[in-house]
Structures are given as C-alpha cells and as structure tokens.
Amino acid sequence: MAVNLEGIRIIETATVIAGPMAGRFLADWGADVIHVDHVTRKAIEARREAAEKKTNRIIFPGLDPLSQNAGRNKRAIMLDLSRERGREVMLKLLSKADVLLSNFRPYELEKFGLEYATLSKIYPRLICANLTGYGKKGPYRNAPAYGQIAGDARSGLLNSLRAPGSFPPQTSGTLTDLITASNFACGILAALLIRERTGVGQEVEVSLFNSMVFALAGDIAATITTGRSRRTVERKDLPNALSGMYETKDGRWLILGLGPQSVAYWPRFCKALERTELENDSRFDSIEHRTANNLDMFNILERVFKTKTLEEWKPRLDESGIPWSPLQDFTEIFDDPQARANDFFIQFEDPNYGRVEVVANPIKLSKAPAYIRTNTPGFGQHTDEILREYGYTETEIEQLAEQGVIA
C-alpha cells in the first residue's frame, strides 16, 4: 500500500509559477501530474523557439531554473482548448482524474466549459481547483494578474516597504506566487481528504491577492489598530530598538529579535556587546525604561555594531543564545550550514546538464518524503503516450495532430 499520493491523478492546465508550483508539491509526493499546455500550434512553435534561446548564465547555459523548479516530476501534453475536439480530449482526460488544477480567469473557465458547476455534474468526485489573480467575484475577477501585480503591489507589501520619499523596493518577483502555491496545495490536499471521507468532490479557490493579504495579516491588523504602518516608520521610531536592524563595520547588516523577550535576553545581550554597564543603566533596566528610552538605545546599538565586522559579531551573538540573524544574500543561503543540514537543496541528474542542484520541497514527511522522479518535461513530451493510455489509437492521434488539436 502506497504511503504517498501514488494513484492520485491531477490534470494541470496552470501556467506561470503559482499554479504549476502547487502541482509540483503534489507531484513530489507521488501524484501523477499531467501538465496540459493549452496553446495553438502557432503559439507552440513560438514557445519552443523562445525556450531554445533562453539562457541562465549563472548555472548552465540554456537551463531555466524556474521551469525546472515548477515542472519536475510531471508529464506533459499539448492540447488546443480553443478547438472543440481539444475540449473533448480534455473531458476524456478528466474522466480518470482526481483533480483539475488550473489558473484560468472565470470567463476562460466558462469559455472552455471547465467551470465547477458544469464538471461536477459529469464527474461528482472531481476536485476543481482554480487559482485567480483577484478572486472569482468582484470587478477585477477577469483582470490579468501576476504575483507582483495582484500580490506584492495590491496587498500593500511594496508600499509598506517604501521609506517616505523613496522609490518603492523591488521584491524577488516570486514571493506572492510561492506563498499562493503553498495555500493552493494545502486546499487541494484538504479537498482530497474530505473526498476520501465523503466521496464528494468540491471546488477549491485561491487567489494571489487574498494569499498575500493573509500573509500580511499581522501588519494589516497593526496598521488598522494604530493608524499607521509599522513598516514605513523610521528605524528610530520602532517600538523596540532591540528588534531593529544594524549595520556592521564592514557594511553588512544584522537583525535582532530581543524585543518580545528582552527580560530574559537583556543581560546576555549586554555581555555579548561587551557593554555590561548597560544592564543596570537606569534608562534600560526594565522593559518600560527601554521602551521610553528607545532612541537612546538605538543610537548606542548603532555605534556598537559598527565597531566590528559581521564575522566578528557572529560567534559573540551565537554564544549569547539571543535571537538574531545576519541579512544574507542568496549565495550565502546556498552554503548555509543550517540549510545544508536540513536538506534545503536536492540534487538530480539532468539529461542535458548532468548533476543539478535545486531548492527542495520545504515540507518533510517521515513516511512519504518528497523526491525527484523525472526532470521537467519538454513541451508536449508525453502527448502520444498519454493519449494512448486513454485509449486513443495511432490513427486517431495522427488525426488530432493533422487538425492542430495536438502538436
């Protein structure tokens, strides 16, 4: 008996990042995820040409790490859903599926006949999971959206990170997508569990906008309560300088997390700074005094941390046992001993580039560990194979190709 998702079939029509990444979560645990490229023949050729030209100078020329991360462990079929026969093939694929995973806008679901109200009558056990930019209702229900647009910007994240009078910062571009992917996969798994107990499928809905608002729930609540965003204030105005960020002698930065538990950490922190006289300083000898004299505290810490480099501060702060962290760049994360010890990265053999290392699934299951079975498939790589599984003859497959339904 399988202890993973083996036996679960997912038809995935989602594109870009959030949807495919949710599918990859499930594929990592053994689900058979069939990715459907719903494109016309002309678009297929354009995508193939673009893929051949895409390069990644940091790792391997021609290797797209984003595609590798979201597409592995899947099979792929090309299908033109704008054609009636393409939609007929899709319905046949869904006849053996547990989940339809998509990121169509509401009008597209209706256009392709893939809305839950329609499919649930044909396949009552089918779980229809759809991801949108802004949600399936409201004035923006059919608006185009990406993570930075519907998530980072509209949720308030970018504006909250912007210092007064400055240019808004740029995020990684995938933050909202990856948070949404986790929510999406969680919703699908919950629906599968409920169906296991009730025998009935249902609709699963998530959006980029809603996911990021959820991720920022604490900041939003604080803003509503206090009337101002705690992220846009100057560092000197932070409720507690012991939760601030400070520059070191070599221009690096670190962040402290003593604020909530400063009673327990304060003596050890003063010792690590070699400023033991601060422990009983009347300005800082209680939480109330430290809060009242926050500006004095900030000015002292700003000067102290600039006396040593980050590497000099690391052992002192680690040995003190206080919560803190350096502000690392991505190359440091790749070599971080804590990340390495906990298998944050996984290696696999790429048929074109040899051994490749990518970010691993962050969820660890003791009896169903995530693993890489197959590399990211090429466009429509398994089209013929999958159609044969569904009973299509070679003649029928050739006819579909001639009609432009598949390619």
Burial code of 266-291, b = ≥16 C-beta within 10 A, e = fewer? bebbbebbeeeebeebeebeebeebb
At residue 152, the pLDDT reads 93
Q: How confident is the model at residue 62 (pLDDT cuts 50, 70, 90)?
A: very low
pLDDT digit string, tens, across residues 79-127? 999 999 999 999 999 999 999 999 999 999 999 999 999 999 999 999 9
Q: For the residues 244-272, what does the mean pLDDT come to?
A: 91
Beta bridge partners of 75: 34
pLDDT score for 69: 81
Q: Average pLDDT over the chain, rounded to whole?
A: 89
Q: Once rounded to an integer, what is the mean pLDDT over residues 262-289?
A: 93
Closest Cα to residue 329, out of 229, 251, 222?
251
* Residue 170 pLDDT class (50, 70, 90 cuts): confident
pLDDT band for 237, please (50, 70, 90 cuts): low
**pLDDT class for 55, splitting at 50, 70, 90?**
very low
User: 300-328 pLDDT, tens per residue?
Assistant: 999 999 999 999 999 999 999 999 999 99
Rg of the chain over Cα atoms, rounded to whole angstroms, equals: 26
- Does CATH number 3.40.50.10540 belong to domain 9-215+343-402? yes
Q: What is the pLDDT of residue 169?
A: 80
pLDDT of residue 50: 64
Q: Flag whether pLDDT at 205 surpasses 90.
A: yes
Confidence of residue 223 (pLDDT cuts 50, 70, 90): confident
Contacts of 320 (CB under 8 A, 6+ apart): 265, 268, 269, 271, 272
| Percent of the chain clearing pLDDT 70 (strictly above) | 89
380: left (phi over 0), alpha (psi -120 to 50) or beta: left
Q: For strands 253-256 and 324-326, give the pairing.
A: antiparallel
- Domain 235-328: what homologous superfamily? formyl-coa transferase, domain 3 (3.30.1540.10)
Cα separation of 195 and 203, whole Å?
Answer: 11
Average pLDDT for 28-55: 75
Instruction: Tell the residue number behind the tokens 């409920």, with chain if given.
Output: 194
Query: For 15-24, 86-95, 225-234, 328-337, which range has the lowest pLDDT when averaged over its residues?
Result: 225-234
More confident call, 317 vs 407:
317
Tokens linked to 270: 């003063």
Stretch among 119-123, 345-349, 393-397 having the lowest mean pLDDT: 345-349
- Give the SS3 label for residue 206: strand
Look up residue 151 and give its amino acid: G
Which amino acid, residue 139? P
| Residue whose structure tokens are 């923006």 | 140
pLDDT given for residue 355 in this prediction: 84
Residue 171 confidence class, pLDDT cut points 50, 70, 90: confident
**Quick check: 222 pLDDT over 70?**
yes
Greater pLDDT, 354 or 179: 179
Tokens representing 83 are 């054609």
- pLDDT for 357 equals 85
Average confidence (pLDDT) over 32-59 = 66
Per-domain residue ranges of the chain = 9-215+343-402, 235-328
CA–CA separation, 271 vs 265, rounded Å? 10
The confidence score (pLDDT) of residue 58 equals 35
User: Strands across the sheet with 9-12, in order?
Assistant: 74-78, 32-37, 9-12, 99-102, 127-132, 203-207
45 vs 243 pLDDT, higher one: 243
In eight-state DSSP terms, residue 163 is: P
Predicted local confidence at residue 393, as pLDDT: 97
Res 201 pLDDT > 80: yes
| Residue bearing tokens 């056990």 | 125
SS3 of 131, please? strand
264 pLDDT tier (thresholds 50, 70, 90) = confident
d(CA 405, CA 407): 7
pLDDT at 4 over 50: yes
Q: What pLDDT is recorded for position 59?
A: 37
56 pLDDT band, cuts 50/70/90, is very low
pLDDT exceeds cutoff 90 at 263: no
Cα-Cα end-to-end distance for the chain: 37
This prediction has a pTM of 0.87
Q: What are the beta bridge partners of residue 100?
A: 11, 128
Q: Do domains 9-215+343-402 and 235-328 have the same CATH topology?
A: no
